[in-house]
Chain A
Amino acid sequence: MNIDERGRRAGTDLLERASTRPIPVLAERSATANRTRRLSLVAAAAAALVVVVIGVVATRRDDSVRTITNLPTPDAVQARSWSPVGLGVTVTVPSTWVEGGPVSGFRYAVSDATRDSYVLADRLRNVERLDVDAVGSSRAGDLHSLGATGVTTAPVNLGGRRAVELRYQLPGSAGSIASVTEYDFVDGDWFFLVAVGEHTPINNNELSQWVASTIQLRALSTQDLAFPTPLGQPASPQPTPQGIEPVPWSPTGLGATMQVPSTWTDIATNVAGFDHALQPPGGGPTVMASRISAADASTRETALRSMGADIESTVDTTVDNHPARAIRYWIATPGDPLRVTLNVQYVIDAGSGDDIVVNTSELDGGDDNSALLQWVRSTIHIT
């Protein structure tokens, strides 16, 4: 049978079956809406600001571009510059503020001692090359899905650059409310999120406004752009990270084995098109693997690009003494351009006419799992 004839026949049949299903009434739809909202609130409580979902909620928008001028340092405040390596943003904060992070999905954080007033920031790959307004709009959708309320967006000029200002409230711990003003920027291959917040009932509005007015992008240096782990496989297996109980993972038919945390579990076999995949219960960093033909292996980069991957670099290397290519790339989640994963993929010549692909993936931003995934990659052994 021809696949297209079969597909059309199956599609027509499904359409007919769907058309006979009852259309729900408004009351049922309202109940569904309430359930969806509860899920969003649960997601919010679970944290990660740079996480997920649908951008289909009403957001108040102001279309006139306001210029934010640099405000004078408040009385009795001693100022210092905060410009962590890797971020590409400079903010002036009180000298008493201390660095922390990652916090709530942001890799970089600085706050007062009580953490009632703070700046959270991150630099993420703009895989889909969104303009700043699209980033702000997408971010507003994510915030809604996380349970943020009172979300407003407005175009602004800040630090000499066009940005989007988002104002919102998020439920914090112990019943407090986080009141946040966030500035989103786009520059070249990156977008930047800088959130200035305070927890109620604290009211440091003057301080927060001053801090926000000092936000500036700065040029990214080689040091900022460096990755925490090398792309190729380390010469020998890395020591097992502290607190990890290792177990061997040898997917059927793969022809390779590697060490993984014992708590990780098998997930859907078709994740991102891979035959095998593992990740911690509840999600997080992921290891995926497949055996592919040498012909498919030779066009791997093309295939990745066709799926929307933004390839940072490719190097020829060896994995367990087998010739291999190592590819580092970012890819955005379909429909969620701000949720980007950073991947390292080894395409290994298994010596039998086939290649083995091992791909490690982690969310760009948020918790750093690079050392853990490098350990997994360092233990790959071709069987």
Chain B
Amino acid sequence: MDYVQRSFERFMADEYGAALAFARATSRDWSEAEDLTQDAFVAALRNWSEVARYERPDAFVRRVIANQQVSRVRRRVREFAKAHLVASNESTETELGDGAFWDAVQQLPMRQRQVIALHYVEDRSVSDIAAVLEIAEGTVKAHLHAARHALARLLGDEIDDEEGV
């Protein structure tokens, strides 16, 4: 194993869990999340000589996951009915703890799911989320605002308007 590969292995060991959590928070199940995460690390490995020089290689992995999710959403449209049946047979609660919360997240548009995941799972700041997803900070704030209000409405929870955005 050469130095470049060892360096990648260390990066993957450090980052895999958080990247997987991000993917899981925005996907239907662990299988899809693991598939997305593995593909993202494969992309990082293929380009490791360049990615390793990035200030934030972890952002690269999240971005690949986010981009893949957009294309998968398009493919998934065809299998929506079937997927819905599969999802209804899963117990989100036993899988994910607060199943009602994650079920509500699944009701949001994809970009809002991604912003919520980066905000709540990884506790990233607005500027950090903007950098990861390569979108404007104002857009992050708008997504976060809309998503938090939608979640509060769906779950009957209280919301503090001063929080986050």
Contact = CB atoms under 8 A, between A and B. Distances in A.
Contact of B17 (A15, A282, A334): A15
Given A6-B98, A23-B13, 4 more contacts: A2-B159, A11-B121, A14-B97, A18-B20
Contact of B152 (A3, A9, A12, A55): A3
A2 B95 CA distance: 22
B129 interface: no
Contact of B64 (A10, A33, A56): A56
30 contacts: A1-B158, A3-B148, A7-B101, A7-B119, A7-B148, A11-B117, A11-B119, A11-B120, A11-B122, A14-B97, A14-B121, A15-B17, A17-B21, A23-B16, A32-B39, A33-B42, A53-B68, A54-B64, A56-B46, A58-B46, A58-B47, A145-B71, A268-B73, A273-B108, A283-B78, A306-B139, A307-B143, A308-B139, A335-B67, A336-B67
A95 to B, nearest CB: 41
Given A33-B39, A270-B109, A10 B16 contact: no
A18 B78 contact: no
B78 A282 contact: yes
Interface of A: 1-4, 6-15, 17-19, 21, 23-24, 28-30, 32-33, 36, 52-58, 145, 266-273, 279, 281-283, 303, 306-308, 333-336
Contacts of A145: 71
B96 interface: yes
A268 B80 contact: yes
B71 to A, nearest CB: 5
Interface of B: 12-13, 16-18, 20-21, 24-25, 30, 34-35, 38-39, 41-43, 45-47, 60, 63-64, 66-68, 70-71, 73-74, 76-78, 80, 95-98, 101-102, 106-112, 116-117, 119-123, 133-135, 138-139, 142-143, 146, 148, 151-152, 155, 157-160, 163-164
A30 B43 CA distance: 11
Contact of B97 (A1, A2, A13, A28): A13
B12 A23 contact: yes
Contacts, number: 173
Nearest to B18: A15
B32 to A, nearest CB: 12
A353 B134 CA distance: 38
Tell me whether chain B's interface is mostly helix, strand or loop, or mixed: helix
A279 B74 CA distance: 11
Nearest to B17: A19
Contacts of B60: 56
Contacts of B148: 3-4, 7
Contacts of A308: 135, 139
A63 to B, nearest CB: 14
A33 B30 CA distance: 18
Contacts of B134: 335
Nearest to B1: A26
Nearest to B5: A26
Contacts of B95: 17
A273 B34 contact: no
A334 B109 CA distance: 11
Nearest to A36: B39
A6 B156 CA distance: 12
B67 A54 contact: yes
Most chain B CB atoms below 10 A, which of A145, A283, A334: A334
